Structure 1
Amino acid sequence: MFFLLNLLGVLVVIGLIFLCSPNKRNVKWKSIFILLIVEFLITWFMLETKIGTWTINKIASFFTWLIACANDGISFAFPSVMANEHVDFFFSALLPIIFIITFFDILSYFGILTWIIDKVGWVISKISGLPKLESFFSIQMMFLGNTEALAVIRQQLIVLKENRLLTFGIMSMSSISGSIIGAYLTMVPATYVFAAIPLNCLNALLIASMLNPVEVSKEEDVVYVPTKEEKKDFFSTISNSMIVGMNMVIVILAMVIGYVALTTLLNGFLGFFVTGLTIQKIFSIIFSPFAFLLGLTGHDAMYVAQLMGIKLATNEFVAMMDLKDNINGLAPHTVAVATTFLTSFANFSTVGMIYGTFNSILGEDKSSSIGKNVWKLLVSGIGVSMLSAMIVGLFVW
């Protein structure tokens, strides 16, 4: 019965996204069906086959090794802190971002990451029949993050029409940056983090093609390739990467501190009017129908609904820290769907980041399409996270 509820959830989410589409006649159902088939095959491969499990374990081990490398640098700067058995969130999850983002930029500098993005993006475009640039962008987000991926294709964004620009804003809600994976792995199971990454990539394409279907001619279906003149020297690149990484750490830390404090403040006000009422309880009620469609019941359904709301209102780090503290008392299916749902940047603050990036690249006039369609970005972010969690949930009981 719970499996059928989970399967029904996939259909319900797609149906709701379709109802939100302002251009239902142009939705390419063949591409959507193909993407869903590919997602089911990828999830089956990763979670149900020995080769898939072995691959995920090897990738997880590699990221664990990267974190260990980062910890050596952190230990040099903070030897007494890292010598403790229990290291704080700031040191264990955030500071490693500085090294990992530098590592990914080194891969990009030597063309390794660019080659992977090009090949995988080309395959996705051929399989789905969707435009090349959108397909490449979905892969770029997976490794680089939303704002970084937008910056990479900025020259092409400048010449795109406004209706197509909106597609990239919608897709940007569902990104995950490779530099942030290490932080996730310190809090939640690696298996479901790595399962969520390709599913979010494909679901971003799927939902964007429903919420904002756009016809792209062959002449327009091209991908911008940066020139050699745009590339900086190696040491300037890695030095800048470290500064960018530190800035990212500060931004995440500020958001975590601020949002946790604001949540406590809001709970204090709510408790003043209604004893025991918290924002978490309100979110658990709002998102509970979708939690039940994840194949959950009772306490687990309400708890996951609460995590969904926390992620949307604050960010995934706040929700993951909560999940980490309660993960041992949860069923495998609950852990799988909760972790998968949380593995993306989709929240209110992400909308601001996307608008700010568009504004800096394109100016106020062209970026107005984002401001006018905030609801589409939020629907996309929630829809992608929900769909990915539901697909993973079908394979874990």
Structure 2
Amino acid sequence: MYFLLNVIGIFVVIGLVYLCSPEKRDVKWKAIFLLLIAELLMTWFMLSTTIGTWVINQIASFFTWLVDCANQGISFVFPSAMGNEQIDFFFSALMPIIFIVTFFDILTYFGILTWLIDKVGWLISKLSGLPKLESFFSIQMMFLGNTEALAVIRHQLSVLREQRLLTFGIMSMSSISGSIIGAYLSMVPATYVFVAIPLNCLNALLIANMLNPIKVSKEEDIVYVPDKAERKDFFSTISNSMLVGIRMVIVITAMVIGYVALTAAVNGILGVFVHGLTIQKIFSIIFSPFAYLLGLTGDDAMYVAQLMGIKLATNEFVAMLDLKDQIRSLAPHTIAVAVTFLTSFANFSTVGMIYGTFNSILDEQKSHIIGRNVWRMLVSGMAVSLLSAMVVGLFIW
């Protein structure tokens, strides 16, 4: 019964996104079908086979090693904080970002990450029949994050027509950054984080193809490759990466503190009018139909609906912190779909980040395409997260 609801949920989400599409006739259904098949096969491989489980464990071990290396640096500067039996979220989850950002930038500097992104992007383009640049970007933002990935292809974005620019804005709602994975792993199970990352990549392409279908000529279907002359020297690169990392830590810290405090304030105001009413309860009602379509029941459905709302209104960190405290009392299927849903940057603040990035790398007129289509971006972010969670839910009960 609940498995069937989970299956129906996939078709409901795709159907709702299709209804939101302003150009329904141009939707490439073949590409959507191929991407869905690829997602199902990939998820089955990663969750239901010995080799797939081994691959996830190796990736998780690699990121655990990265975090351990980061902790060495943190312990040198903050030995008393790291020596505590229970380490604060700031030190355990956020401070490692400084080293992980630097590590990924080193891989990019030597062309290792760039090569990987290029090859996998080419493969996805061949599989789906969608443009190379969009396929390339979906992989790129999976490792680098949305704003960083947009900056890397800024030269090509500057010559694209507005309608195609919107595709990149829509896709940017579904990214994460490789530098942030360590923080996720300190709160939720690694398995579902690493399954969600490639699923979000494919679903971003799928949803963008429905919400903003466009035709690209062969002359337009190219990928910009940065010139070697644009690169700084190695030590300038890693020094800048460390500064970028600490800025990310400060921004995320401010957002978590601010949003948790704001939620508490809103709950206090709501409680004056209706005793016991909270923003979490309101969200749990609004998103409950989608939670039931994830194959959930009763209290679990209402709790995951609440997490959905928290993520959209604040960010995934606030929702993951809540989930971390409840995770031992939840069923395996509930944990799988909840973690998968939360593993992305889809929220209101991300829209502002994307608009700001477009405004800084393009002219103001072109960046208005984002401001005029906020609703499409929010629909995309939620739809991608729901689809990824529904696909994972099919394999964990």
Please state which band the TM-score falls in when normalised by the shorter chain.
over 0.9
Instruction: Give the corresponding residue for 2:335.
Output: 335
The residue type paired with residue 192 of structure 1 is Y
Instruction: Give the corresponding residue for 1:55.
Output: 55
Provide the rounded CA distance (Å) in 1 between the counterparts of 2:363 and 2:380.
Answer: 24
Provide the rounded CA distance (Å) in 2 between the counterparts of 1:127 and 1:341.
Answer: 25
Instruction: Give the corresponding residue for 1:5.
Output: 5
The 5-angstrom pairing of residues 336-375 of structure 1 reads: 336-375=336-375
Provide the rounded CA distance (Å) in 1 between the counterparts of 2:314 and 2:68.
Answer: 29
Shift in Å, 1:363 = 1.8
Instruction: Give the corresponding residue for 1:135.
Output: 135
Instruction: Encode CA deviations 1:128-178: one digit per residue, 9 max, x unaligned.
Output: 000000000000000000000000000000000000000000000000100
The residue type paired with residue 132 of structure 1 is K
Instruction: Give the corresponding residue for 1:299.
Output: 299
Question: 1:66 and 2:66 equivalent?
Answer: yes
Instruction: Give the corresponding residue for 2:198.
Output: 198
Instruction: Give the corresponding residue for 1:259.
Output: 259
The residue type paired with residue 367 of structure 1 is S
Instruction: Give the corresponding residue for 2:276.
Output: 276
The residue type paired with residue 235 of structure 1 is F
Instruction: Give the corresponding residue for 2:213.
Output: 213
Provide the rounded CA distance (Å) in 2 between the counterparts of 1:31 and 1:81.
Answer: 51
The residue type paired with residue 55 of structure 1 is V
Instruction: Encode CA deviations 1:23-46: one digit per residue, 9 max, x unaligned.
Output: 000000000000000000000000
The residue type paired with residue 63 of structure 1 is F
Instruction: Give the corresponding residue for 1:159.
Output: 159
Shift in Å, 1:294 = 0.1
SS of residue in 2 equivalent to 1:159: coil
The residue type paired with residue 206 of structure 2 is L
The residue type paired with residue 203 of structure 2 is N
Instruction: Give the corresponding residue for 1:246.
Output: 246
TM-score, normalising length: structure 1: 1.00
The 5-angstrom pairing of residues 229-244 of structure 1 reads: 229-244=229-244
SS of residue in 2 equivalent to 1:84: coil
The residue type paired with residue 4 of structure 2 is L
Kindly tell me the number of residue pairs found equivalent between the two proteins.
397
Provide the rounded CA distance (Å) in 2 between the counterparts of 1:115 and 1:360.
Answer: 27
The 5-angstrom pairing of residues 83-122 of structure 1 reads: 83-122=83-122
Provide the rounded CA distance (Å) in 1 between the counterparts of 2:88 and 2:317.
Answer: 14
Provide the rounded CA distance (Å) in 2 between the counterparts of 1:47 and 1:199.
Answer: 13
Instruction: Give the corresponding residue for 1:26.
Output: 26
Provide the rounded CA distance (Å) in 1 between the counterparts of 2:225 and 2:64.
Answer: 32
SS of residue in 2 equivalent to 1:173: helix
The residue type paired with residue 27 of structure 2 is V
Q: Which moved more, 1:361-370 or 1:155-164?
A: 361-370
TM-score, normalising length: structure 2: 1.00
SS of residue in 1 equivalent to 2:294: coil
Shift in Å, 1:61 = 0.6
Instruction: Give the corresponding residue for 2:226.
Output: 226
Provide the rounded CA distance (Å) in 2 between the counterparts of 1:363 and 1:181.
Answer: 32
Provide the rounded CA distance (Å) in 2 between the counterparts of 1:34 and 1:338.
Answer: 25
Instruction: Encode CA deviations 1:280-333: one digit per residue, 9 max, x unaligned.
Output: 000000000000000000000000000000000000000000000000000000
Provide the rounded CA distance (Å) in 2 between the counterparts of 1:133 and 1:9.
Answer: 30
Q: Which runs of 5+ in 1 are unaligned?
A: none
Provide the rounded CA distance (Å) in 2 between the counterparts of 1:95 and 1:363.
Answer: 34
Instruction: Encode CA deviations 1:231-281: one digit per residue, 9 max, x unaligned.
Output: 110000000000000000000000000000000000000000000000000
The residue type paired with residue 296 of structure 2 is L
The residue type paired with residue 116 of structure 1 is L
Provide the rounded CA distance (Å) in 1 between the counterparts of 2:241 and 2:127.
Answer: 34
The residue type paired with residue 373 of structure 2 is N
Instruction: Give the corresponding residue for 1:76.
Output: 76
SS of residue in 2 equivalent to 1:220: coil
Q: Which moved more, 1:359-368 or 1:152-161?
A: 359-368
Q: Which runs of 5+ in 2 are unaligned?
A: none
The residue type paired with residue 142 of structure 1 is M
Shift in Å, 1:20 = 0.3
Provide the rounded CA distance (Å) in 1 between the counterparts of 2:135 and 2:379.
Answer: 20
Provide the rounded CA distance (Å) in 2 between the counterparts of 1:320 and 1:364.
Answer: 35
Provide the rounded CA distance (Å) in 2 between the counterparts of 1:297 and 1:336.
Answer: 14
Instruction: Encode CA deviations 1:183-229: one digit per residue, 9 max, x unaligned.
Output: 00000000000000000000000000000000000000000000000
Q: Which runs of 4+ in 1 moved over 6 A?
A: none
Instruction: Give the corresponding residue for 2:172.
Output: 172
Instruction: Give the corresponding residue for 1:123.
Output: 123
SS of residue in 1 equivalent to 2:174: coil
Instruction: Give the corresponding residue for 2:318.
Output: 318
Shift in Å, 1:4 = 0.2
Instruction: Give the corresponding residue for 2:388.
Output: 388
Provide the rounded CA distance (Å) in 2 between the counterparts of 1:307 and 1:77.
Answer: 35
Shift in Å, 1:364 = 1.1
